[in-house]
Amino acid sequence: MNRDILNQTGRNESLRPAVYAASASGETVDLQGTGSAMVVVSVGATVGAEDYSIELQESDASGSGFTAVAAGDLIGTEPTALEADTVYSFGYRGSKRYILVRIVAGAGTSAATCGVVITGELAQSPSGFSVAS
């Protein structure tokens, strides 16, 4: 049994760890050469974070045209009311090449958050691949 998930997945930071006081879009993640994607969002300290939500966006172009992913293209649901000290995850099954994680601010003050896209079923091994155990 091969339990090595490290060399079978890619890790892509989209929403950089920060304290967000306003809505912000993360970095674009290119899904070319991947067969699956999962988003992991970690929330730390918050002030009124229940007024913040996470939105996954998609596009065919890397720099423009991003729109919210339709509910039918999500596996699970995006968090709509962030809670402190909580990790959320949901999958993407859409057909667009690019995705990004967006934090959407409501009336809250701030939320310390980050969003990572984990890719799987890679066409090529991730950089730094090693078969040594």
Which tens digits make up the pLDDT trace of 43-69? 998 886 568 999 999 999 998 899 999
Higher pLDDT, 102 or 2: 102
CA 28 – CA 100 distance, rounded (Å): 5
pTM over 0.75: yes
Residue type, 84: A
CA 85 – CA 112 distance, rounded (Å): 9
> Any idea which of 3-7, 73-77, 79-83, 118-122 has the lowest mean pLDDT?
3-7
Q: Which residues of 69-83 are buried (b: 16+ CB within 10 A; e: fewer)?
A: beeebbeeebbeebe
CA 116 – CA 72 distance, rounded (Å): 21
Write down the domain spans for the chain. 31-120
CB-CB contact of 51 with 79 (8 Å): no
- Copy the structure tokens of residue 1: 């049994």
Q: Is the pLDDT of residue 133 over 50?
A: no
CB-CB contact of 97 with 29 (8 Å): no
So what's the pLDDT on residue 108? Answer: 80
For residues 31-51, give the mean pLDDT: 88
- Copy the structure tokens of residue 120: 């799987």
Q: Summarize pLDDT for 75-99 with one digit per residue, the tens.
A: 999 998 899 999 999 999 999 999 9
Mean pLDDT over the full length of the chain: 89
